[in-house]
Structure 1
Amino acid sequence: MVRLISRRAAALAALLPLAAACAAPPEDEVWRPAPGTAWQWQLSGTPDLTVDVPVYDIDGFESGAADVAALHERDVRVICYVNAGAWEEFRPDAGDFPPELLGEGNGWEGERWLDIRALDVLRPLMAERFDMCRDKGFDAVEPDLLDGHLHDTGFPLTGADQLAYNRMIAELAHDRGLSVGLKNDLPHVPELVDDFDFAVNEECAEFGECAALTPFIEAGKAVFHVEYALRPEEFCPETTALGFSSMAKNLSLDAWRAPC
């Protein structure tokens, strides 16, 4: 009898790891900030790391791993800003972009729209940028200018081109364990809300477009929103009711902020 019990015990012990594996929850998904999460967005000047908010969005090239680590010490999540839709002559990888992919200027000095149809060429270039974000310890990426199809880029970009590119960007981020925000591109919110983990928007209140972002809120995902020309009292009642994370900022995106 003792031998039989021992055998049964051994068999049960052998099954325990398998049972535990089956019962264990899946690996943690990427971070998805909830609607209404406060944030700070600073892309110019020395980062002020003292703002008491749970989320920071800072420049991926200009910020170092030490900045990210300092914010993590305060349990702050950190978003890595990178330009995914335009070439920037002042970035260290500027020479890696083929000249034929550089289009019209986008209104910012030293920047030109990219031909996002060249997925095979841009994929490794953007992958390297996202590798940088991951290696510095960032939690997420904010890929800017994901709405080239709405602008005069110098290329005949279509909505289908933009969808393909934006989904590639989201895939690159998720492959590296990073969450990713949809920057503007309001016409494609319904198609892309499942591919992105939050949204970043500029000036939807000024142009009467904020309702287009509500699918993110309905999906339990934050909408990080700023206005430049409007005062908080002019947009906060609307965007707070929608569940947005809103604030007024200077166009230079320095440290100043006036949150709702």
Structure 2
Amino acid sequence: MRRLPLLLAGALLLLVTACTAAPAPDPKPDEGRWRPKAGLAWQWQLSGKLDPTVDVPVYDIDGFDHSAATVADLHRRGRKVICYLSTGAWEDFRPDAGRFPKSVLGRGNGWDGERWLDIRRTEILEPLMAERIDMCRDKGFDAVEPDNMDGYRNRTGFPLTAADQLRYNRLIARLAHDRGLAVGLKNDLDQIPQLLADFDFAVNEQCAEYDECHRLAPFIAADKPVFHAEYELTPRQFCPGSRELGLSSLQKKYALGAWRRTC
């Protein structure tokens, strides 16, 4: 094949490059995501018939169990809505349970039908979690509560390290932010200093019972809410400390139905 003259070839190359180059990426959607402020009241309901009438600005509900219509109804009532997902454990009752290979399933985590995940296997878990977070976005949720984010502190059946957990938690945060959703750090108190910048709020269980609530103070100092629940203590026992720290605290039952008591 004959070569084109150098000048003509260069011009054609520029023309082809201009026509075939990928379009510039859209601006990151996270600039418009919900950025909750410390002190917001909330309702956390993961079981039973949803009661949409609790007069609070934030609802945290199961992402699989509720439809886009439910989220839209809560929005009409003036609520922001958090999508609960388990990202660190497998649940045998979810519609995508069969897509998780046995190689990533570890020991049970104490709840029926649930097993810890090998969070090191991001080549398997990232696309599965991305699809779950896509579901939250497509239903209109404002944020994600990813649960079981502290496997490295538990007997998972895998030799997970703190570094493994940091990488995985940041991956989940990025997946949410890339989809324009806020994201909360669930428990994982030891890694708050490293993860504070990656998460928009915290969700905590029983920090008062275990005298750990002060460890969540960095979120409040950054004006990010700490959505906190106690099961065994009464409001009289934990509310004074919660008020002092600025936590958004509830008493709930373990089933996480509609029942609640507040400070």
User: TM-score with structure 1 length normalisation?
Assistant: 0.89
Partner of 2:184: 181
Partner of 2:124: 121
Percent of aligned pairs sharing the same letter? 66
Partner of 1:6: none
Secondary structure at 1:194's aligned position in 2? helix
Matches for 1:23-172 after TM superposition, within 5 Å: 28-172=31-175
Listed one character per residue, the Cα deviations across residues 60-117 of structure 1 (whole Å, up to 9, x for unaligned) are 0001111100010022100000000100000000001010100000010000000000
Equivalent AA in structure 2 for residue 211 of structure 1: H
Shift of 1:29: 3.5
Distance 2:239 2:34 in 1: 26
Distance 1:164 1:56 in 2: 28
Equivalent AA in structure 2 for residue 222 of structure 1: P
Distance 1:145 1:32 in 2: 23
Secondary structure at 1:172's aligned position in 2? helix
Distance 1:161 1:74, change over 3 A: same
Partner of 1:20: none
- Which of 200, 203, 210 does residue 200 from structure 1 map onto? 203
Tell me if 1:191 matches 2:194.
yes
Structure 1 runs (4+) greater than 3 angstroms displaced = 26-29
Listed one character per residue, the Cα deviations across residues 115-134 of structure 1 (whole Å, up to 9, x for unaligned) are 00001110000000000000
Shift of 1:27: 8.0
Partner of 1:218: 221
Deviates more, 1:28-37 or 1:47-56: 28-37
Equivalent AA in structure 2 for residue 187 of structure 1: D
Shift of 1:216: 0.4
Listed one character per residue, the Cα deviations across residues 4-62 of structure 1 (whole Å, up to 9, x for unaligned) are xxxxxxxxxxxxxxxxxxxxxx9844212111100000000111111000000000000
Q: Which ranges in structure 1 are unaligned for 5 or more consecutive residues?
A: 1-25
Secondary structure at 2:197's aligned position in 1? coil
Equivalent AA in structure 2 for residue 64 of structure 1: S
Equivalent AA in structure 2 for residue 113 of structure 1: W
Superposition RMSD in Å: 1.0
The question of whether the paired residues in 1 share the 8 Å contact of 2:205 and 2:229 is answered with yes
Equivalent AA in structure 1 for residue 250 of structure 2: M
Partner of 1:19: none
- Which of 240, 244, 262 does residue 241 from structure 1 map onto? 244
Listed one character per residue, the Cα deviations across residues 211-245 of structure 1 (whole Å, up to 9, x for unaligned) are 11110001110000000000001000001110100
